[in-house]
Structure 1
Amino acid sequence: MSSLLKPFSVCEGPCESSGVRRGSASSAPHQQSSARRLAAAGLGSLPAHQRSYAARRNLAAAAVGGRKITHPGKAILAGGIAGGIEICITFPTEYVKTQLQLDERANPPRYRGIGSCNVQTITCRGINTSLPPFFVFFVTIFPSVSRRFGTFEMLSNPMRDATGRLDNTRSLLCGLGAGITEAIVIVCPMETLKVKLIHDQCSLRPRYRGFFHGVSEIIREQGVRGTYQGLTATVLKQGTNQAIRFYVMNLLRNWYKGDDPRKEMHPIVTAMFGATAGAASVFGNTPLDVVKTRMQGLEAYRYKNTVDCAFQILKQEGPQAFYKGTVPRLGRVCLDVAIVFVLYEEVVKLLNNVWKTQ
């Protein structure tokens, strides 16, 4: 009877076939080592059912691809480095995309297409005209992408299962949360300044003599509030952007890894998945991007709000206007997302070697 009151050993079941019996002396060292591990993890003082739950939560710290779940601090640093390198490579396509979206049919239009826009940018205004908005992008892309990945990791880590796997629905929600946070804190003022500077450079009589003059004039005339034009459109655009990208990326990653969460992904595979995720976000939310760009331009005063802007575009230019700049945006975003995800993963691997976290 007394043997029935003894607690079950951790090694009950499959371990019994290897000679470890319930309550036997040979199981004592294992029980002692288990107790030491629980104490080291800070779980020794918890009741049994809480220890079981906490152990499962700690097990979720196992990383996808054989590494631990990314510490938010590493995500912030790796995201900033990846974003800074990426924008140096892809900004020319962003510049062309924004000019095409600002080019209204009623004005009449200045450009006949992507080729015409590229030729006029290089021959008529020169590459130096893109430098002011480039500086806006470059000096803010570090905190932008940093916050994106940092927020995503903070939201997703508690939602992962015991193997570190994140299901697709939760990745969509975490991406949405990361995009909304990024839009409110950083992206909206950054995008507003970028669009205003590009719009000014595209006008017949540019007002701003350079980056610092342009930023100071915008803030002097409109205040800090002026840098938050089109906030609603930006939140919608950026939230859906990251929701789609992280969802598609996670979907493809889970498909590729299958039942082996420790399976390594080659950088080329990561790049292909990233480009696919970027393309999905372009086709999914370019209409929101067009509305956002118009709401942040120098002629944003013409629109009462985001809905009025969308209605006027539809009425005056037709539904096809909502996909202006799709091709240059597609090239930029596919390259952008591919580069960022690859660099992010590689930088995190390097940080894991020098920055030890639990």
Structure 2
Amino acid sequence: MAFKKEKPLHSVIAGTTAGAVEAFVTYPTEFIKTRSQFGGGKESPLAIIRNTLRDKGVAGLYSGCMALVVGNAVKAGVRFVSYDHFKNKLADAEGKVSAPRSLVAGLGAGMMEAIFAVTPSETIKTKIIDDAKQPKPQYRGLIHGTVSIVRQEGIFGIYRGLFPVMMRQGANSAVRFTTYSTLKQFVQGTARPGQTLPSTITFGIGAIAGLVTVYTTMPLDVVKTRMQSLDARSQYRNSFHCAYRIATEEGVLRFWAGTTPRLARLVMSGGIVFTIYEAIIKSLGGRET
């Protein structure tokens, strides 16, 4: 597939804006998914919503929100810039990128975002959500939570679960970008030459990419969440031990705990992120030829 390169600054602006908006809009589904994974899927999404609203109010559904908003903004910026960079490096002499090479570019972008944005923000978010269900939460917000975690566990405390996060983000980006690019190329092939795809079509393509991503990467997400919990150090030796215990003690299907809320989030996020990203790139002057 041939492509036009985004200017790096434009990718950063469009990506961070899209990531921040998407994180805030879809955060309640992320909260529900994380709580579902802590409970091993024993508490239904509706029960989590009902109990949280009863005990904490609407604000309870946004526990740890700022950690994800900030992290998601940085993540999306890193993701789009990295993907465009890898895609440019992997393009052939005619500027075309095959589906397998797009998959590799997405994998590289996912690895970059896991290291520079996702692991710290999601570790903090996960610990705050886990702490919020305690009778007396110890974290009073993003800054206090971050300082407390670093003070108690050192800088590596916010990098707990790095390996499963790298695997999940690599798989996420590889699957999502490849699905999105392939579907977009197909749809553009049926349109008139030079015709710009409407936002509704872009949203739909992004939503389908999110759907495919959820079911293929859910086990990695469950392991990631367990490895970032407050008692992870006393429960699991490493990611492989965590996966082994889940499979042998709770059953293989437990790897898909929290699928419904994550599905809701990634379908929406896929549509929101790609739609906002494309709109901002267009408003900033489009892509370089």
Counterparts of 1:27-38 in structure 2 under 5 Å?
none
1:214 matched to 2:145? The reply is: yes
In structure 2, C-alpha distance between the alignment counterparts of 1:292 and 1:117, rounded to whole Å: 20
Alignment check: 8 A CA contact 1:165 1:261 kept: no
- Counterpart pick for 1:90 among 15, 19, 26: 26
Alignment check: 8 A CA contact 1:83 1:145 kept: yes
Q: Secondary structure at the match of 1:237?
A: helix
1:169 matched to 2:105? The reply is: no
Q: Flag the structure with more relative contact order, 1 or 2, with Cα contacts below 8 A and sequence separation at least 6.
A: 2
1:307 matched to 2:240? The reply is: yes
Unaligned runs of 5+ in 1: 1-59
- CA-atom RMSD in angstroms: 2.1
Please state how far the C-alpha of 1:229 moved relative to its aligned partner.
0.5
Alignment check: 8 A CA contact 2:64 2:125 kept: yes
TM-score with structure 2 length normalisation?
0.93
Q: Secondary structure at the match of 1:352?
A: coil
In structure 2, C-alpha distance between the alignment counterparts of 1:164 and 1:342, rounded to whole Å: 24
Counterparts of 1:221-240 in structure 2 under 5 Å?
221-240=152-171
| Structure of higher CA gyration radius | 1
In structure 2, C-alpha distance between the alignment counterparts of 1:217 and 1:248, rounded to whole Å: 40
Counterpart of 1:338? 271
1:321 matched to 2:254? The reply is: yes
Alignment check: 8 A CA contact 2:63 2:132 kept: no
- Counterpart pick for 1:103 among 39, 56, 60: 39
TM-score with structure 1 length normalisation?
0.76
- Percent identity of paired positions between Structure 1 and Structure 2: 36
Tell me which amino acid in the other structure corresponds to 2:200.
I
- Counterpart pick for 1:197 among 104, 110, 128: 128
Unaligned runs of 5+ in 2: none
In structure 2, C-alpha distance between the alignment counterparts of 1:196 and 1:305, rounded to whole Å: 17
* 283 and 261 in structure 1: CA distance in 2 versus 1, 3 angstrom threshold: farther
In structure 2, C-alpha distance between the alignment counterparts of 1:94 and 1:200, rounded to whole Å: 15
In structure 2, C-alpha distance between the alignment counterparts of 1:188 and 1:269, rounded to whole Å: 32
Q: How many residues align?
A: 287
Alignment check: 8 A CA contact 2:64 2:141 kept: no
Q: Secondary structure at the match of 1:173?
A: helix
* 335 and 247 in structure 1: CA distance in 2 versus 1, 3 angstrom threshold: same
Stretches (4+) displaced over 6 A: none
* 341 and 238 in structure 1: CA distance in 2 versus 1, 3 angstrom threshold: same
Counterpart of 1:54? none
In structure 1, C-alpha distance between the alignment counterparts of 2:254 and 2:63, rounded to whole Å: 27
Q: For 1:270-294, what per-residue CA distance to the aligned partner results, in whole angstroms no more than 9, with x for missing partners?
A: 1111111101110001011000000
